[in-house]
Amino acid sequence: MTEEYDYDLVVVGGGPAGSSTAFTAAKSGIKVALLEKENSIAETVRTSGVTWIESIKEFGIPDNCYNPIKNFSFVSPNNEVTISDSIATAAVLDVRKTYRWLAHEAEKAGADIFVKININEVIKNENNDIVGVSGTGPNGKITFHSKVIIDATGFTSVISKAMGFVTQWKRFGAGAEYEAKVERVDPNTWWLMVGQEYTPAGYAWIFPLGNNIVRIGVGVGKPESDIDPTQRLKEILEKQLGPIKKLGKITPIEFHYGLIPNDGLSRKTVFNNLILVGDSAGQANPLVLEGIRYAIKFGRVAGKVASDAIKNKKTDADALYPYEENWRNAIESKINSARKVQDRWIGLSDKEWDKELDIIKELKTEEFLDFIKADFGLSNMLKLAVSHPKLAVRQLFNLVKGK
Ligand SMILES: Cc1cc2nc3c(=O)[nH]c(=O)nc-3n(C[C@H](O)[C@H](O)[C@H](O)COP(=O)(O)OP(=O)(O)OC[C@H]3O[C@@H](n4cnc5c(N)ncnc54)[C@H](O)[C@@H]3O)c2cc1C
């Protein structure tokens, strides 16, 4: 026998995008189900959890969910730069705590959360539009009928694939990291490590969480490089490369592995009765491959737009389009600029990375932060591209603004 449910909105995937969508939708008074395939929300961590204090405050994430960061260090094979701020602008999230807080906010607003539900099929009406999903739950087959469905399944984009709307991402990042206890670390400083020995395409990192705990990882751009990030992580730990040596004894606590799309904003994200949000929509800053703040921000927008459409009894692609319009206006041009920098970075040799760090040294703290966040305000870029005293910096920012 199939267990059957009826909801106004069904959100598939209990990551930051799904929980945030469920939160605003439930708050607006419609009947919402949030479905997660694992045994609990954030059972498996697949992310390093770096984000920005400004976003944390905007979302109301509690203070005990993150470790603040105010120094940003980069190392290349023969160069090093640290950019310091007087106050903390970045943060490393306690991912499990944060994601569970997001889901709890959705539950408090009235959403029903179902765990251990692995969705693998879509239900369509006579026009081939999605009107529900089904899969397996603790008691066997389970079906959810719904006016609108949200694909918040992340990289795998299970729902959009089952509808035949998307295929596997072609360009993506693969990352492996250990959360580990270390002997010595400055809790205010993150490290990004670049160059062939760390990774041939991407960067390696040390992100401190406080209490002598860090996340140490390696990211590899695909298809640019075929190396395995887990293997490379073990190698750089064994060699104690660069700042890793300073950490002293490293005792792994937990291993994390994940994939993040890096195909730009190539997907259409609204269809009749369906919205894609977060990684399924490809909403990530390509410079450092961070997507959590976009998943939360645009998840909240998706929940509001979907509930308005449901209340107006019109849930086709046109009615859901204000969601796509909102996120494209907010980030499309920034992401496109960031991709140009990423294309430049992905091909750099060790010597060229050493020089790139010299350029980064020339940036003021706020310029650096806007840059790494892909928060390219056009007027700021124009200023830097035209009047920065160093030619190399002018060239970098000319690239960003599109010359
Ligand atoms: C190695 C690595 C490091 C990263 N570091 C950072 C970082 O430092 N900062 C940052 O901002 N971003 C980072 N990211 C990116 C960030 O993790 C994602 O952008 C973010 O998690 C996207 O959220 P989401 O909710 O769209 O997807 P996800 O977080 O992937 O959540 C999807 C959820 O859907 C569930 N699900 C999947 N399929 C089904 C199904 N069939 N049925 C039911 N449930 C299902 C999953 O179990 C999961 O809980 C990193 C990514 C990787 C891979």
- Give pLDDT tens digits for 282-299: 999 888 889 999 999 999
46 Cα to the center of ligand 1, angstroms: 6
Judged against a pLDDT cut of 60, whether residue 403 lies above it is answered with: no
303 lines ligand 1 (CB under 6 A): no
What is the rounded CA–CA span in Å between residue 133 and residue 148?
11
> From the CA of 387, how far away is ligand 1's center (Å)?
40
SS3 48: coil
Q: Which atom of ligand 1 is nearest to the CA of 173?
A: 53
pLDDT at 259: 97
* Confidence class for position 344, pLDDT limits 50, 70, 90: confident
**Minimum CA distance residue for ligand 1 atom 41:** 119
Average pLDDT, stretch 12-40?
A: 98
Q: Is the CB of 35 under 6 A from ligand 1?
A: yes
Element at 321 (helix H, strand E): helix 317-346
Q: What angle do CA 165, 275, 330 make, to 5 degrees?
A: 110
State if residue 259 touches ligand 1 by the CB under 6 angstroms criterion: yes
> Which stretch of 35-44, 178-187, 371-380 has the lowest confidence by average pLDDT?
371-380
pLDDT category of residue 378 using cuts at 50, 70 and 90: low
> Computed from CA positions of residues 246, 211, 250, 87, in that sequence, does the dihedral angle turn out positive or negative?
negative
Could you give the residue ranges of the DSSP H alpha helices within 347-377?
A: 350-361, 365-372
Nearest to 77 by CA among 261, 266, 388, 349: 349
- Crossing angle of helices 317-346/292-311, nearest 10°? 170
Give the span between the Cα atoms of 160 and 269, in whole angstroms. Answer: 9
Q: Is residue 48 scored above 50 in pLDDT?
A: yes
Judge if the beta carbon of residue 286 lies within 6 A of ligand 1: no
User: 32: Cβ below 6 Å to ligand 1?
Assistant: no
Supply the pLDDT for residue 379: 61
Q: Which of 290, 296, 298, 335 to mutate to test the pocket of ligand 1 (most atoms within 8 A of CB)?
A: 290
**In the prediction, which pLDDT does 402 show?**
62
Atom 16 of ligand 1, residue of closest alpha carbon: 291
pTM for the model: 0.96
Task: Tell me how far the alpha carbon of residue 289 is from its chain's centroid.
Answer: 6
Interval 53-78 mean pLDDT: 97
Is 337 a residue whose pLDDT tops 90? no
Give yes or no for residue 34 having a pLDDT over 90. yes
Q: Read off the pLDDT of residues 110-124 as tens digits, 9 standing for 90 and up.
A: 999 999 999 999 999
Quick count: other Cβ atoms within 10 Å of Cβ 4? Answer: 12
Q: How far does Cα 223 stand from its chain's mean position?
A: 19
Q: Is the pLDDT of residue 338 over 70?
A: yes
Region 247-253: mean pLDDT is 98
Closest by Cα among 323, 327, 331, 335 to 150: 323
Given this model, what pLDDT does residue 124 score? 98
- Among 289, 299, 327, which Cα is nearest to 12's? 299
How far away, in angstroms, is 44 Cα from ligand 1 center? 10
pLDDT at residue 122 in the model? 98
- Per the model's pLDDT, the better-predicted residue between 202 and 398 turns out to be 202
> What is the residue-averaged pLDDT of the chain?
94
